[in-house]
Structure 1
């Protein structure tokens, strides 16, 4: 009679039992359940994206692989957080949520560094998904990705700081984010318009989706890591919804929006050797034939062009002889 309840209990979410919480203010089993659900969506969408890429020409899979890499990275991060791993305790600055004091000190709150590791990898890849459609020069792409990394790293440092100085890092991150937005809607949009209406629409719509979502991340940071206003479970729901929209939903939206675009216009052809192996082999054979022909020109018994208009031939003994050019011969006759 007691076997069934015990079996159900063992089949449930045991993450917090296996990996106990590390902070005074931390997630509950409900928060872990939500994180497992997000992990499942990330992993499933990533696998579907890889299957989808198999139906696309080998040289046109760059955006599919970018999306798959984003979703794979996010899956690892959410697996870690759902397992109650990848967090460290940091004392809160404000007592807006949780106990006022624990053992006479401000309580600690879990800061999920696994999330920041995820963002350090995925946000540059998300930017690449957009910027590669814009036709911007690589120098602009590189500096934009740099400021994106500044945005994430300053957020991580600020979340680990216990004093009010954390808001200085927060401000730096917001400034870096607005620079990224300026590139997207300034030079990026102008450059994308030169590629045609299809690319301009795909670029603009994808940019709008991503940047609107990104503006909400600093809000979530201020309510969670910064201000300790919402519970860790609420934090997970807030960030989880944003990540679902900014990663699997955005990835599928972006891939569908590019279906009408001429991929070759971006000059991103990948797998060139495998796609054009036969052509390369034919070209190699042609080069070898040309070299052989040039060698034959200087060989015995073959006439051909020589230096300064002279011709190369052979005499009756088979030795190479350099004959004067016709103009030189005529000059010798007149003399």
Structure 2
């Protein structure tokens, strides 16, 4: 009886087998269990980060909110994959002799994973590049390159022919620009700021770059080359995502415990706080201009009155002279 209960504990694959088309090569219950495990890790991490944020002043919560949001999106994505949803069958380009992938005609492609990456990877970059104090134009172009990388990965995964590898190359080129922004631009700015900022950026930047370099390998042996079984794909991507999201997040936020957002150029007011100084200065400048205008007008009136009085005095003097004669 206990064995039957264990067998029925995860019925997601059976329940959702009627949803959409099913691939010849797809995850098994083991893969589904692993996806749900990662979902739980992402959910608990997101809630933990939100709880951590509540212990901070509101002006210091920006990085906590970004991190909690990306972790929650990842949790939704892994829930979908654990339930075998958000997938579509694609004819495998390579049919291998390996017993693990011998059944491939069609292979299961989780497009929901790429939706996850389209949302979460820019937020990871935002977390890291804001830590370096980079200007917004540099951050935005890095995020654009990241979006190109993710979209190319998705399009390549959905293509059945060898042309998928063209999109793989385009995606890798975009990734190299992201790596350049992190390794060169970000490191330079963080080095100038020094201290905790430099240490936190270097630690988290090295971790993220190393992990992200492994994603093209994972893509090549799973969606691209059909080398490993979807269960192995789940483990590969799951481990990478755990390191790139929860582990990265907690290291980053731990580093930020001694960093004032204003040191990064993030001047965030507490709710209800008075506006910053420049607004007051502009207000006083207007008053001074108004007073200056009145003063100038008064001076002009004074000159006019002085000239009039002088004219009257001269006229009186002339009259006195005539009377004396």
TM-score range, shorter chain: 0.7 to 0.9
Task: Determine whether 1:324 maps to 2:322.
Answer: no
Distance 1:79 1:243 in 2: 14
Distance 1:237 1:125 in 2: 23
**Aligned ranges 1:156-235 → 2 under 5 Å:** 156-235=154-233
**Aligned ranges 1:123-138 → 2 under 5 Å:** 123-138=121-136
Contact 2:100 2:229 survives alignment (8 Å)? no
Distance 2:48 2:270 in 1: 27
**Bigger Cα displacement from structure 2, 13-22 vs 140-149:** 13-22
Gaps of 5+ in 2: 315-325
Label 1:263 to 1:25 Cα distance change in 2 as closer, same or farther (>3 A). same
| Structure 1 residue 266: Cα displacement | 1.5
Label 1:306 to 1:101 Cα distance change in 2 as closer, same or farther (>3 A). closer
Contact 2:60 2:260 survives alignment (8 Å)? no
Structure 2 partner of 1:71: 71
Structure 1 partner of 2:149: 151
Label 1:235 to 1:305 Cα distance change in 2 as closer, same or farther (>3 A). closer
Aligned alpha-carbon RMSD (Å):
2.9
**Bigger Cα displacement from structure 2, 90-99 vs 15-24:** 90-99
Structure 2 partner of 1:17: 14
Label 1:202 to 1:294 Cα distance change in 2 as closer, same or farther (>3 A). closer
Structure 1 partner of 2:294: 306
Gaps of 5+ in 1: 298-303, 312-321
Label 1:196 to 1:308 Cα distance change in 2 as closer, same or farther (>3 A). same
| Structure 1 residue 268: Cα displacement | 1.9
| Structure 1 residue 329: Cα displacement | 2.5
Distance 1:168 1:120 in 2: 20
**Bigger Cα displacement from structure 2, 42-51 vs 137-146:** 137-146
**Aligned ranges 1:26-65 → 2 under 5 Å:** 26-65=26-65
2:273 to 264, 272, 276: 276
- After TM superposition, the score normalised by the length of structure 1 is 0.82
Structure 1 partner of 2:318: none
Corresponding residue SS for 2:90: strand
Label 1:56 to 1:269 Cα distance change in 2 as closer, same or farther (>3 A). farther
Distance 1:193 1:99 in 2: 48
Contact 1:99 1:107 survives alignment (8 Å)? no
Distance 1:51 1:100 in 2: 43
Label 1:163 to 1:8 Cα distance change in 2 as closer, same or farther (>3 A). closer
1:254 to 239, 252, 267: 252
